[in-house]
């Protein structure tokens, strides 16, 4: 059935209603981002992590929160499939899967922090609107600080799950070098999660983390000190294309190459640190080489991040390449080859990551 509605042409009401259904789902999801952040901050999910059903009043006592607010919060969580409700008993609980995703920050599937990241990004909509009009950039350092914390909390569980056990072993001869005692430079290290994890796993190697964002380097130094790694791990404020002098057996770039204004210059700087047998490891968001390969829910997330965070970040820097989060292996490999790497391959993948190995 179709009908005429003001607009570019006849509207199919079935397709219209389907689109409105999608919009309603997105509207609920947008509100839910705030509800998840509240549940995370207030410890509501963690108080339910054991899966034992609780009443609203019991949860309020456990968490020192108001039952009046908990009732609509819990109802909204149940409507979204994040919490279970038993109408006969009037109780609420988490399944093991819901607990794994929402209540356990160290689990590889922990996703509550993703909403912290998303909400922080949405606070900058006005600035990004102006960027659309002017093609100006908006740097990482200009975002709400909650983005930096949310990014660390969101990415770290994946690094814990895969970095030492899967990604590094997928590289040719790298683990043996690190076990014997090598030097690693972690470019775009942020709060230092990746650097610290590698240093904890390879106690004969030394590690340098660099990032242009001074506030992140300050946090990274605290992370290393708390882990007792001051002697083998250092952090410096530096641009990715002007790395501190020295040499390295391994240079790493975790989820940052696409953010750079001149990714080829950064790759050339990494190449300058590596000897003939050195390795550059680049971890990037999972993507296909064509737009149509990425038109799915995960691609939607990455294109959103690309629009709000990564593209503005690149456009704020010299070079303004704006690769974006969905560059794909062909484009990424071309960037690395143009920087002087003769051998480039996809060494490993996960549902959300591409791991590229580049050798001279």
- For residues 336-347, average pLDDT: 97
Instruction: Give me the pLDDT at residue 231, please.
Output: 86
The predicted structure's pLDDT at residue 1: 46
Q: Place 3 in a pLDDT band, splitting at 50, 70 and 90.
A: low
Residue range 327-334: mean pLDDT, rounded: 97
pLDDT at site 9? 75
Give me the pLDDT at residue 230, please: 78
**Residue 39 confidence (pLDDT) above 80:** yes
pLDDT exceeds cutoff 60 at 113: yes
- Whether 359 has a pLDDT exceeding 60, the answer reads yes
Share of the chain above pLDDT 70, in %: 98
Per-residue pLDDT for 4 more than 60? no
Residue-wise pLDDT for 228-254, tens only, equals: 997 899 999 999 999 999 999 999 999
Query: What is the predicted pLDDT for the residue at 47?
Result: 98
Tens of pLDDT, residues 221-234: 999 999 999 789 99
- Residue 6: pLDDT over 90: no
State yes or no: pLDDT of 7 exceeds 70: no
169 has pLDDT over 60: yes
What is the CB-side half-sphere exposure of residue 185 using CA atoms within 13 A? 29
- CA 320 to chain centroid, in Å, comes to 21
> What integer best gives the mean pLDDT of the chain?
95
Which tens digit of pLDDT belongs to each residue from 69-79?
999 999 999 99
Average pLDDT over residues 38-42: 98
pTM of the model: 0.93
Sign of CA dihedral 210, 216, 222, 224: negative
At residue 200, the pLDDT reads 97
Q: Which domains does the chain have, with CATH numbers?
A: 2-103 (1.10.10.10), 157-289+318-359 (3.40.50.150)
């Amino acid at each position: 059935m179709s009908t005429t509605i003001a607009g570019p042409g006849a509207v199919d009401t079935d397709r219209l209603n389907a689109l409105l259904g999608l919009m309603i789902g997105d509207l609920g999801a947008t509100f839910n981002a705030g509800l998840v952040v509240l549940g995370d901050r207030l410890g509501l999910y963690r108080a339910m992590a054991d899966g034992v059903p609780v009443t609203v009043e019991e949860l309020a006592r456990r968490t020192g929160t108001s039952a009046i607010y908990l009732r609509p919060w819990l109802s909204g969580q149940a409507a979204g499939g994040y919490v279970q409700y038993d109408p006969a008993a009037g109780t609420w609980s988490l399944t093991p899967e819901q607990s794994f995703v929402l209540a356990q920050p160290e689990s590889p599937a922990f996703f509550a922090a993703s909403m912290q990241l998303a909400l922080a990004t949405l606070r900058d909509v006005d600035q990004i609107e102006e960027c659309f009009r002017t093609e100006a950039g908006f740097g990482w350092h200009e975002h709400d600080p909650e983005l930096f914390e949310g990014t660390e909390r969101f990415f770290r569980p994946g690094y814990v799950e895969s970095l030492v056990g899967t990604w590094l072993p997928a590289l040719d001869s790298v683990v043996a070098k690190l076990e014997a005692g090598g030097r690693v430079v972690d470019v775009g290290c942020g709060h230092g999660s990746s650097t610290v994890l590698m240093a904890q796993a390879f106690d004969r190697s030394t590690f340098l983390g660099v990032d242009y964002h001074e506030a992140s380097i300050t946090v990274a130094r605290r992370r290393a000190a708390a882990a007792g790694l001051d002697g083998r791990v250092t952090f410096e404020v530096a641009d990715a294309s002007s790395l501190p002098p020295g040499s390295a057996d391994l240079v790493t770039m975790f989820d940052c190459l696409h953010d750079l204004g001149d990714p080829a210059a950064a790759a050339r700087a990494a190449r300058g640190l590596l000897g003939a047998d050195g390795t550059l490891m680049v971890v990037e968001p999972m993507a296909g080489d064509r737009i149509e390969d990425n038109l799915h829910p995960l691609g939607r997330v990455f294109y959103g991040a690309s629009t709000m965070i990564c593209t503005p970040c690149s456009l704020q820097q010299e070079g303004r390449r704006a690769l974006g989060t969905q560059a794909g292996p062909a484009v990424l490999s071309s960037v690395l080859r143009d920087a002087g790497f003769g051998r480039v391959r996809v060494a490993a993948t996960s549902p959300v990551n591409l791991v590229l190995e580049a050798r001279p």
